[in-house]
Amino acid sequence: MKFAIALLGGASLAFGQTFSSYKNSQGITFWQANFGTRVAASIPNAQFGLALPPASATSLNDEYIGHLAVPIPSSGTWMGIAHASQMPDNLLLLTWLNGNKVMTDFRYATDYLTPAEYTGNAKLTVLSSSVNSTFYELTYRCEHCWTWNQTGQVAGSQLPKAGGNQIVGWAEATTTPTNPSVQTAGIVQHYADGLFGVAVDSARNSAYTSWTALGASPTSVTTTATSSKPTGSVTSSSKPTSSASATSSAAAVAPSCTSGTAASSLGSWDYVVVGGGAGGIPLAAKLTNTGKKVLLIERGNPSSGRQGGQLKPTWLQGTNLTQFDVPGLCNEIYVSSAGITCPDYGVLAGCILGGGTAVNAGLWWKPHPKDFAAFPSGWQSSDMQAAISRVFAKIPFTEVPSSDGQFYQMQAYGVLGNILGRNGWGAVTAGNTPEQKTLNYGHAENMFSHGERGGPMATYLVDAMAKNNFKLILNTMVDRITRTGGTATGVTVEGAYCGNITLNAGGKVILSAGAFGSPKVLFRSGIGPADQLTIVQAAEPGAMIASSQWIDLPVGKSLQDHAQTDIVWTQSSIQNYDFNAAFTNPIASDTQAYLSKRAGILTEAAPVFPIFAWHEVTGPDGIARQIQWQVRNGPSHGISSSNGITQTQYLGRGSTSRGRTTINSALNMVVSTVPYYQDPNDLAAAQTSMSIMLGLMKQDSSINMQYPASGTNVSAFYAQYPVTTGSRSANHWVSSCKMGTDSGLNGGTAVVDPNLKVYGTNNIYVLDASIIPEICSANPSALIVSLAERASDIL
Ligand SMILES: Cc1cc2nc3c(=O)[nH]c(=O)nc-3n(C[C@H](O)[C@H](O)[C@H](O)COP(=O)(O)OP(=O)(O)OC[C@H]3O[C@@H](n4cnc5c(N)ncnc54)[C@H](O)[C@@H]3O)c2cc1C
């Protein structure tokens, strides 16, 4: 499934915003707008004003004076200003409160990720600031702010032009930054964002140069509320820094234990499992059977109501269910993802208890026997069958999640199934015949149980929680493994617990933090390619293990994902359902059916996946590649229709392209090389599959092909389709800590050996999607849980 996570990502231009002239008590005239930030149900408007030098003052063309009035929600806040139309690749100004001081810092992001410290020469001088219980206000001079240059990264500019608009983005959060007293305070993703187009000619003022002198005189800082202040009176004010010049190099905040319970209070453990997702939960649960002490550390909040999750729409109030428990609400993460998805990855992943199994569509496929062909001995299909049987006995698949035994809005199964059936494709129940993926089609199979999400959190985790040798800690991030040479002695954490957690003698650390989280912990522990460890060392020099202890392994280098390509069609019998409205403004009979009987459309994974189809296509290189066609209700690619379908081609097993994930100076994980169609044989196979499918669909004249337009040449279609994570990712990332016998220590591709142990270490292991040596046939979560079952036999 596709997802566009964005800081300032969903912003739309708001040129209709009303700007007017506003003179503050210092006599500065701004071209200013009031705007609603929507960060709380009832909160006053914010203000942004811009004053520009006269066009004749060309030496000042790279600066402005800004005015911000920021409403403060009860949960705290920060507000950011972007000096162009998007968050990445331009100068960002962050503002927040430290007590009664307004703090500022320049940041820079190369993607929709937590920004790094800005390293260019922008300079901010506070002209005045004030704080009261409902607002903070800042008037500042921003020099070198319309051109930017993040050393070694990207340069850009937006110099004011006569008759033009200065595009300025804003973002406001509903959480106070961590460590608010330091300039490098940490932030979590904002809640709301938007854009202004400020008329340059209206913002210019010939008195500008006289106002800049205000910055030279601290005594002239205003300490009283201004007449335009939206509400309330000023209770205190101060000038925090007379000049916040961003000339320091990028620095990640080292974990500090100013908050959180001392981690040492947890005692020491035989197994420390890092990450409570598809791999970590079942593995930790099964390891409790050894009788040894097992600690599962999860960085996020609880998701399901079963473990204390709270996020829910009004209609679930009073129940023990959250939005994560109701399949029909699984798409809510595409509406609001703050506190759910990982803010430090450039792609979508769940950073909440359950990981991907909390946020995904619950598709649950018994692994194809060929999916194990690339695994080493001990992990071949025959080795895996006992583990797979145990998994499916615990979490059976269902094709009909509704308790009334009915399918809901499955019209596309009839439409496409008829065409495929007429052409010799066989209908299957895929969970009974996982190997039949050559010219087959079937219904979606889900891990849902009793109309709820079910899966590892409802089964394995419940078992584990009943054991007294198991402990789960939440909201606790593992920063790194502490080690002496190749032997781990524990982990360093921050969050709800802070400090070091130790291992018992003979203990093991197992990373189950996912295809990006496990590489990140390894990098921060001095394990990975030297170029990545060097970046970490520069970012957190005091915390990184000495370079003499680094272990050089190809962590992050074999990355794969299903390459997806959508086609969109409409057909008159198809009905789409408004699952977004099911959150905010649901149909009463549907919520009633769900709440009283676990029946109806809300038991289906949003937006309903009516049919799947599979075939194998052999590329010019003679390698057979698995294609999965995943059909979902609802159009995409800008097509609007209430009877639309998006049919997505997943290029899977057999594809040979590999990408790479790397870390940047803000310690964000990015996909620096996309794994899609690097090998032309992969592209050729995808195009062949597409030609076959489009040819079949032409047989039904009731189908209106909308995208690509009927008759489009298939090669041309692929040529214009962006090869980016945003366009192609299926969120099925694997292989960043590849398992194999070709040790990366000796120039091979493997990071972990067939016993899951990281090469060059004695007691550090990985078990999650990242070890899968080659992208699988279908959605991977059941495969990962099966690997965890098998791993519990070994660890
Ligand atoms: C939106 C979406 C939809 C999907 N749909 C499907 C589907 O329908 N069916 C399917 O089979 N697959 C689906 N997938 C893929 C599937 O969910 C993932 O492949 C799978 O969950 C990966 O398992 P994992 O154990 O490797 O990592 P995850 O399940 O991502 O778990 C990793 C866990 O580690 C935690 N963590 C990370 N770093 C740290 C740290 N440093 N300290 C402590 N904790 C940490 C994270 O918070 C997370 O809980 C989907 C994925 C997404 C994102």
Sign of CA dihedral 98, 103, 105, 110: positive
- The pLDDT, as a whole number, for residue 244 is 29
- Structural domain boundaries enclosing 723: 305-458+558-794
- The pLDDT, as a whole number, for residue 82 is 94
| Number of alpha helices (DSSP H) and beta strands (DSSP E) in the chain | 15, 32
Q: Are 557 and 770 in contact (CB under 8 A)?
A: no
Which tokens in the block code for residue 611? 């049919």
* In-domain check, residue 275: no
Q: Which of the four pLDDT bands, split at 50, 70 and 90, describes residue 217?
A: low
Identity at 413, one-letter amino acid code: Y
Boundary (domain end) residue, out of 195, 223, 245: 245
Q: How far apart are CA 206 and CA 203, in angstroms?
A: 10
230 and 324 part of one domain: no
54: pLDDT strictly greater than 50: yes
Ligand 1: which residue has its CA nearest to atom 39? 513
- The pLDDT, as a whole number, for residue 2 is 33
Q: How far apart are CA 747 and CA 752, in angstroms?
A: 13
Q: How far apart are CA 132 and CA 134, in angstroms?
A: 6
Helix axes 781-794, 381-394, angle to 10 degrees: 110
Q: Is the CB of 513 under 6 A from ligand 1?
A: yes
Question: Ligand 1 atom closest to Cα of 3?
Answer: 1
243: pLDDT strictly greater than 80: no
Average pLDDT over the chain, rounded to an integer: 90
pLDDT in tens, 381-436: 999 999 999 999 999 999 999 999 999 999 999 999 999 999 999 999 999 999 99
- The pLDDT, as a whole number, for residue 153 is 63
pLDDT in tens, 622-648: 999 999 999 999 999 989 999 999 999
Q: Is the CB of 456 under 6 A from ligand 1?
A: no
What is the greatest pairwise CA distance in the chain? Answer: 84
| Secondary structure class of 266 (helix, strand, coil) | helix
Kindly give the distance from the C-alpha atom of residue 762 to the centroid of ligand 1, in angstroms, as a whole number: 26
CB atoms within 10 A of CB 133: 11
| DSSP per-residue string spanning 160-184 | --TT-EEEEEEEE-SSPPBSTTSTT
* In-domain check, residue 454: yes
756: pLDDT strictly greater than 60: yes
Q: Which of the four pLDDT bands, split at 50, 70 and 90, describes residue 109?
A: confident
Q: Are 165 and 198 in contact (CB under 8 A)?
A: yes
Kindly give the distance from the C-alpha atom of residue 524 to the centroid of ligand 1, in angstroms, as a whole number: 20
Q: Is the CB of 350 under 6 A from ligand 1?
A: yes
* In-domain check, residue 166: yes
Nearest to 241 by CA among 138, 143, 145, 168: 138
Q: Is the CB of 313 under 6 A from ligand 1?
A: no
Kindly give the distance from the C-alpha atom of residue 708 to the centroid of ligand 1, in angstroms, as a whole number: 32
Mean pLDDT of 340-358: 94
536: pLDDT strictly greater than 90: yes
226 and 332 part of one domain: no
Mutate to test the pocket of ligand 1, among 357, 461, 491, 671 (most ligand atoms within 8 A of CB): 357
Q: Is the CB of 784 under 6 A from ligand 1?
A: yes
If residue 498 lies in a helix (H) or strand (E), which one and from where to where? strand 497-511
Count Cα atoms within 13 angstroms, Cβ side, for 206. 0
623 and 761 part of one domain: yes
Q: Which range is least confidently modeled, 91-100, 605-614, 689-698?
A: 91-100
CATH of the domain at 622: 3.30.410.10
- The pLDDT, as a whole number, for residue 17 is 63
698: pLDDT strictly greater than 50: yes
Mutate to test the pocket of ligand 1, among 561, 768, 775 (most ligand atoms within 8 A of CB): 768
Question: Ligand 1 atom closest to Cα of 364?
Answer: 11
Q: Is the CB of 725 under 6 A from ligand 1?
A: no
| Secondary structure class of 599 (helix, strand, coil) | coil
* In-domain check, residue 17: no
- The pLDDT, as a whole number, for residue 257 is 72
Residue 121 per-residue DSSP state:
-
Q: How far apart are CA 193 and CA 548, in angstroms?
A: 45
Q: Is the CB of 8 under 6 A from ligand 1?
A: no
317 and 234 part of one domain: no
237 and 386 part of one domain: no
Q: Is the CB of 362 under 6 A from ligand 1?
A: yes
108 and 212 part of one domain: yes
Which tokens in the block code for residue 353? 């208890």
pLDDT in tens, 223-242: 222 323 322 222 222 222 22
Question: Ligand 1 atom closest to Cα of 783?
Answer: 11
38: pLDDT strictly greater than 70: yes
440 and 566 part of one domain: yes
- What percentage of residues in the chain have a pLDDT greater than 90? 74
Ligand 1: which residue has its CA nearest to atom 35? 275
Mutate to test the pocket of ligand 1, among 332, 340, 351 (most ligand atoms within 8 A of CB): 351
Kindly give the distance from the C-alpha atom of residue 713 to the centroid of ligand 1, in angstroms, as a whole number: 37
Mutate to test the pocket of ligand 1, among 732, 737, 756 (most ligand atoms within 8 A of CB): 732
* In-domain check, residue 261: no
Q: Is the CB of 169 under 6 A from ligand 1?
A: no
Question: Ligand 1 atom closest to Cα of 279?
Answer: 25
- The pLDDT, as a whole number, for residue 193 is 83
Q: How far apart are CA 728 and CA 702, in angstroms?
A: 28
What are the backbone angles phi and psi of residue 483, rounded to the nearest 5°? -150, 155
Radius of gyration of the chain (CA): 27
Mean pLDDT of 517-522: 98
* In-domain check, residue 90: yes
Ligand 1: which residue has its CA nearest to atom 6? 360
Q: Which of 259-263, 289-293, 345-349, 708-712 has the highest mean pLDDT?
A: 289-293
Q: Is the CB of 517 under 6 A from ligand 1?
A: yes
Kindly give the distance from the C-alpha atom of residue 700 to the centroid of ligand 1, in angstroms, as a whole number: 38
Q: Which of the four pLDDT bands, split at 50, 70 and 90, describes residue 314?
A: very high
104: pLDDT strictly greater than 60: yes
13: pLDDT strictly greater than 60: no
The CA–CA distances, whole Å, from 667 to 13, 89, 533, 664 equal 31, 17, 11, 5
563 and 681 part of one domain: yes
Kindly give the distance from the C-alpha atom of residue 389 to the centroid of ligand 1, in angstroms, as a whole number: 22
What is the β-pairing status of strands 64-71 and 46-51?
A: antiparallel
Boundary (domain end) residue, out of 193, 218, 245: 245
pLDDT in tens, 545-595: 999 999 999 999 999 999 999 999 999 999 999 999 999 999 999 999 999
What are the backbone angles phi and psi of residue 413, rounded to the nearest 5°? -60, -40
Q: Which range is least confidently modeled, 18-22, 321-325, 654-658?
A: 18-22
Identity at 483, one-letter amino acid code: R
Mean pLDDT of 348-354: 96
If residue 94 lies in a helix (H) or strand (E), which one and from where to where? strand 91-98
Count how many domains the chain has. 2
Kindly give the distance from the C-alpha atom of residue 600 to the centroid of ligand 1, in angstroms, as a whole number: 27
* In-domain check, residue 68: yes
Mean pLDDT of 111-132: 87
Centroid of chain to Cα 69: 30
Nearest to 128 by CA among 233, 219, 35, 232: 219
Q: Which of the four pLDDT bands, split at 50, 70 and 90, describes residue 188?
A: confident
517: pLDDT strictly greater than 60: yes
- What percentage of residues in the chain have a pLDDT greater than 70? 92
CATH of the domain at 133: 2.60.40.1210
- The pLDDT, as a whole number, for residue 575 is 94
176 and 323 part of one domain: no
3-state secondary structure 320-388: CCCCCCCHHHHHHHHCCCCCCECCCECCCCECCCCCHHHHCCCECCCCCHHHHCCCCCCCCHHHHHHHH
- Spell 407-422 as b/e; 16+ CB within 10 A means b: bbbbbbbebbbebbee
Burial class from Cβ neighbours inside 10 Å (0-12, 13-18, 19+) for residue 35 reads middle
Residue 44 per-residue DSSP state:
P
Kindly give the distance from the C-alpha atom of residue 303 to the centroid of ligand 1, in angstroms, as a whole number: 13
If residue 287 lies in a helix (H) or strand (E), which one and from where to where? helix 280-287
234 and 351 part of one domain: no
769 and 662 part of one domain: yes
Boundary (domain end) residue, out of 245, 266, 293: 245
| Secondary structure class of 108 (helix, strand, coil) | strand
49 and 121 part of one domain: yes
248: pLDDT strictly greater than 50: no
Q: Are 350 and 340 in contact (CB under 8 A)?
A: yes
181: pLDDT strictly greater than 70: yes
Which tokens in the block code for residue 221? 């800082």
* In-domain check, residue 672: yes
